A and B are shown apart, each in its own frame.
Chain A
Amino acid sequence: MSESDATNALSVRNVVKQFGSGPNAVTALNNVSVDIQSNEFFTLLGPSGCGKTTLLRLTAGFEQPTAGEIFLFGEEIEDLPPHERPVNTVFQHYALFPHMTVEENIGFGLRMQKWSGPEIRARVNETLALVKMEQFATRKPVQLSGGQQQRIALARALAPRPKVLLLDEPLSALDLKLRQAMRNELKTLQRETGITFIFVTHDQEEALTMSDRIAVMSAGLIQQIGAPLEIYERPINRFVADFIGDTNFIETRIDQVSGNRALCVAGGELQFETDVVDGHGIGDAVTLAVRPERITLQKTMLRSKDMPVIEEATYLGTDTSYEINIGDGVVVTVRDQNAEAGMGRFAAGENVKLTFSDGAARMLVD
């Protein structure tokens, strides 16, 4: 049998989920394993259709896995119905009960767990205060704005103090400003309550700013799990590097190796130093990932056909994006902050000098 560490809030072991059967079968999750620690703010990030919601629904108990096990604090739960799992969900479109008031919605889970009247009232008031919605207690959901409904959905799921809270894109229906404000509130709530949050989003900024750890998913698989910084700085494959932020992919060969560092040359004569991925040696073709903002541009007096030349400059407000031909037909994108008012520092056709901060380039596994 698979073992599970009881200190993990949630352990997913080799879970497969297929919808339908025969030729129409869709594999939504294809052998997924992940451990989520207690008190963690854990984010599932990935493009539409990659299986995020499915993983959440399996955890909540709305669906059964085709294969694999799910443990909650060491206890195997995949055969338990949703109402016997100490897990609550904040639904994407809130799913507030339209025939109940805000109070009744929040108290529902407590009532189903047979709490006494005064206990329910106390917890409902406490939770309403937590989401700053005290004055709306007696309203019906239709009388609330989207953002207010979102808070009630959150309060309803938090009130029974679940061991794990599942949030399926809870902010996606809100406007940008509200979304940003709610990010901070969610983070604070998680810290104050100490509940493990599993948060689904396809918004990378949301994931990067809120999470303790992120699992990047694609096509039913988890591609990489790590802290935001790790995911951003050290993507292990092309998918992750491409999905999180903007990236230049530079096809090149390993020129020299010393220890675990390798030197590659791309374009004309630009040199990149990176950690070498296991199993690669001199002469191997590799892909380097370089973030556009990690390349620094400098003015140069030299004019030469072999020098990198700016092909296009796009003004983006906070910074300017340059398409730069570095020779051999290799084009990289570089972001340069607009420190001064006006257009960017360079114009199309100008020659520039490129420099890199240490570790700007990263060799990808595939």
Chain B
Amino acid sequence: MSEKTPKKRKGFVLGYYPGMNMWTLFFFVYLYMPMVVLVAYSFNDGNRAQIWQGFSTRWFYRAFINDDIQNAALNSLIIAVCATVVATVLATLAALVLARGGEFRGRSASLGMVTLPLIVPEIATAVATLSFFAIIGFQLGMLSIIIAHTVFCIPFAFLPIRARLEGMDTDLEQAAGDLYANAWETFRFVTLPILAPGIVAGAMLAFIISVDDFIITLMVSGAGATTLPLYIYGMIRQGITPEVNVISTVMLAISIAFITAYWFISARGDTVKGH
């Protein structure tokens, strides 16, 4: 027998498809390149948004001292906070009934109703809401925006809360009942603390959805109430200065911060739920 040199094994790996990793890389480049470009261009020195003319932070300063932007940001914040608070309260109550209330007639219809705003195209919601306000003679402005936002924020607040409730051990509530807690005490001291991460997660989603909304806001805003996305849209429409890149970058940063926080909150929730 001759001395055997170890063979190089080609090896057939099941489930592996050649090129898939490069494809995935390309995918992520496609997904992130525009955002990277946007952030980079917010440091553009030139007077036109799309044409790179050197590095500068002057547009950050310009955007920061712009009163219109400050007003728009304040409007966005007020609208988002109001819509989030109302939508989260409504969603929490509904989730408690739908996840904990047992089977009852109209349960799946109710579920469909709560999540309805998710499936109706936004443009249809927008014009329908506008028509509604028009017919009842409601003055368009901050309040009409808040109402519209509350409606489509409900399902976004609802889903994480329901997910949290469904992952929760019902034994805990029964144990509390066993220990002479009444229904309200059980809810206050057992259900609510465990549910808290779900509520926070739901509220964050609702908030971000409200801050980001464009088309519905556009239709029901009337003249005075400009939000950040409306302001950005306006700037894009009238010849573009790098200021729009700056606000867009700031909005991007806000969303990313919120979603990252949301991700961690719901991930931590998962570890609690298992035990």
Contacts and interface: CB of A to CB of B under 8 A. Distances in A.
Interface of A: 1-2, 61-62, 64-65, 67, 78-82
B4 interface: yes
Interface residues of B, number: 9
Contacts of B1: 1-2
Nearest to A79: B10
A61 B14 CA distance: 9
Contact of A64 (B2, B4, B6, B12): B12
A65 B10 CA distance: 11
A61 B11 CA distance: 9
Contacts of B10: 79
B6 A82 contact: no
B6 A67 contact: yes
12 contacts: A1-B1, A2-B1, A61-B12, A64-B11, A64-B12, A65-B9, A78-B9, A79-B9, A79-B10, A81-B12, A82-B12, A82-B14
B136 to A, nearest CB: 52
Contact of A1 (B4, B6, B9): B4
Given A79-B12, A82-B14, 4 more contacts: A1-B4, A67-B6, A79-B9, A80-B12
A9 B9 CA distance: 23
Main secondary structure on B side of the interface with A: loop
Contacts of A62: 14
A79 B11 contact: yes
A87 to B, nearest CB: 14
Interface in B1-25: 1-2, 4, 6, 9-12, 14
A81 B1 CA distance: 28
Contacts of A65: 9
Nearest to A76: B7
Contacts of A61: 12
Nearest to B6: A67
A172 B108 CA distance: 41
* Residue among B6, B11, B12, B14 with max Cβ neighbours from chain A (10 Å): B12
A67 B11 CA distance: 12
Contacts of A2: 1
Contacts of A79: 9-12
Contacts of B12: 61, 64, 79-82
3 residue pairs, one from A and one from B, having the closest CB atoms: A81-B12, A64-B11, A64-B9
A80 B14 CA distance: 12
Contacts of A81: 12
B17 to A, nearest CB: 13
Nearest to B12: A81
A97 to B, nearest CB: 16
Nearest to B14: A62
Nearest to B9: A64
A81 B11 CA distance: 8
A81 B10 CA distance: 10
B139 to A, nearest CB: 57
A253 B1 CA distance: 43
A65 B9 CA distance: 9
A339 to B, nearest CB: 55
B7 to A, nearest CB: 8
Nearest to A84: B12
B84 to A, nearest CB: 43
Contacts of A78: 9
Contacts of B14: 62, 82
A270 to B, nearest CB: 49
A79 B10 CA distance: 7
Contacts of A64: 9, 11-12
Contacts of B2: 1
